[in-house]
Structure 1
Amino acid sequence: MSENRQRSILVFGAHPDDIEFGCGAVLLKEAGEGARIHFVICSRGESGTNGSPEQREVECRTAAELVGASIEFLDCGGDSRIESTRAIAMMFAGVIREQKPDLLLAPSLVENQHPDHCSVGRAVRDGARLARYAGIEELKTKEAHAIESLFYYAITPGAEPVGETALVIDVSEQIDSWRGVMACHASQMKTRRYLELQVSRSRTLGLQAGVEYAQALWAGDALFLDSLNSVPRGIRLF
């Protein structure tokens, strides 16, 4: 990507709060560095214990505004009914062609979490492949597009991929802003102390890396480097 061009990041979430809880601090950092960010929300939390769909949409739009992201909602069958089907992947491919992102973020593929999360993650992965193929009849009205990289985020501790190398990002300067973004989802704080959970995860990871706070992403594919000169240090403080 040209250094003079604004980086574009497309982020998918199954529910109205997934993106903010799972990778909100990273996105705040990227937005502060000039990235263009777009949220795609695949339900309105219709099956949630707390908060009406209307309330949760308002909360999500407010949070996206604080991040500096544009936002859209898709009909993928409704909360707790999202499946990783070819039709959904094709829908996601259409969004990818419209937004033309450099980077794509999605929920992790770990099975033992809310089933909507891994369903969306799989459909995003498949959609990224379909977005590349110019000959797909259903997508011919939109120019084919290939992303640079797909990264997964973990919404809960149990959704973190085991045995896979993480990209650990210093978000110490974003922690207060991130708290404000997560606090937009007030309806969900009645269900669980999500804000404290995410901040504590970030604090623990940060201390492991020798910074105040950090957040992790996992690469969908091996990453390409020009040489060992561009390899960052490891999280382990030998």
Structure 2
Amino acid sequence: MSTFPAGASVKRVLAFAAHPDDIDFGAAGTLAKWAGQGAEVTYCIMTDGDAGGFEPGDRSGVSDLRSSEQRAAADIVGAGQVHFLGERDGFLAVGHEVIGRVVELIRRVRPDVVLSMHPERNWSRIQASHPDHLACGEIVTRAVYPAAENPFAYPELAAGGLEAYKVPWLWFYGAPTERENHAVDITRELDRKLAAIRVHASQHPDIEGMDRSVRGFLQENAQRHGLPAGASAEAFHVVGVNTPTTIAGF
């Protein structure tokens, strides 16, 4: 299993999520850390979030509200661009059309790290495994390998100037704990992460309760990965796709 090198330089990151707010819960602290070190951070949200929230009645403005919340949260983290694929919330499915759109974005951004939700169900906390989350993980995984690096996949992209690109690292958030192999100390970024989450006010009927829960999860992550007492951490399943230790085709 490839291990992410300590002190490795991350210059460009492309982070995927199923819904507005997923990235902020799963990885905003790590992304804020990278952005603070000068990395270019780009978000891609796959669905329009229209099934979120708690208010009945007129739902016509939900997608626009959630998009504006995500842009504001991205500003707090330091993400430069936010892309919305506009798939229907609750109906995200693995298919070649949406995989092609993800491949296009990967080839355009050419990131050092692709960040995604995990494609495996987490039976310890099934709320982390919304079907859209699992679909997001599978779509991104298929796009990263082999499609983005295969010059004969989606030939219309190459014809348009988007040449094949080999992604070095694929980081999953929301992974089952048995898959976690890397933790990032985000103690210094904790306030920014929580601020980004709070922006998604339409999704939180109990802001203070949410805050307490997130703090608890992050401290548990830190303890589980051997960080100092009182630290907060985000945990990931890191996969080396094209690194000095990987061999093409194996």
Paired residue total? 219
Q: 2:165 matched to 1:145?
A: yes
Q: Under a length normalisation based on structure 1, what TM-score does the superposition of the two structures give?
A: 0.84
- Alignment partner, residue 233 of structure 2: 214
Query: Given that residues 128 and 147 in structure 1 are in contact (C-alpha distance below 8 angstroms), is that contact kept between their aligned partners in structure 2?
Result: yes
Query: Is contact 1:188-1:194 (8 Å) kept?
Result: no
Instruction: Provide the residue aligned with 2:210 in structure 1.
Output: 194
Cα distance in 2, alignment partners of residues 94 and 194 from structure 1: 35
Percent of aligned pairs with the same amino acid: 26
- Is 1:57 equivalent to 2:77 in the alignment? no
Does residue 39 (structure 1) correspond to residue 43 (structure 2)? The answer is yes
1:164 CA displacement: 2.1
User: What amino acid does structure 2 have at the position aligned with 1:214?
Assistant: A
Q: 2:140 aligns with which of 124, 138, 144?
A: 124
Structure 1 position 15, deviation (Å): 0.3
SS at match of 1:196: helix
Deviation string, structure 1 residues 165-220 (Cα, Å, up to 9, x no partner): 42011111111111111111111111784333222110122234233111111023
Alignment of 1:178-193 (within 5 A): 178-190=193-205, 193=209
Question: Normalized against structure 2, the TM-score is what?
Answer: 0.80
1:93 and 2:109 are equivalent in the alignment: no
2:84 corresponds in structure 1 to 73
Shift in Å, 1:221: 4.5
1:50–1:191 CA contact under 8 A, matched in 2: no
- The answer to whether the 8 A contact 2:150-2:164 is kept is yes
2:120 match: 110
Offset of 1:61 from its aligned partner?
Answer: 0.4
Displacement of 1:87 in angstroms is 1.7
**Take 1:163 and 1:207, find their aligned partners in 2: how far apart are those partners?**
15
Return the letter of the residue paired with 1:73: F
Offset of 1:224 from its aligned partner? 5.8
How well do the aligned residues superpose, as a CA RMSD in angstroms?
Answer: 2.5
Alpha-carbon shift at residue 222 of structure 1 (Å):
7.7
Unaligned ranges ≥5, structure 1: 155-159, 227-238
Pair 1:153–1:165, CA change in 2 (3 A): closer
Give the distance between the partners of 1:215 and 1:6, measured in 2 at CA. Answer: 17
**What SS class does the counterpart of residue 83 from structure 1 fall into?**
coil
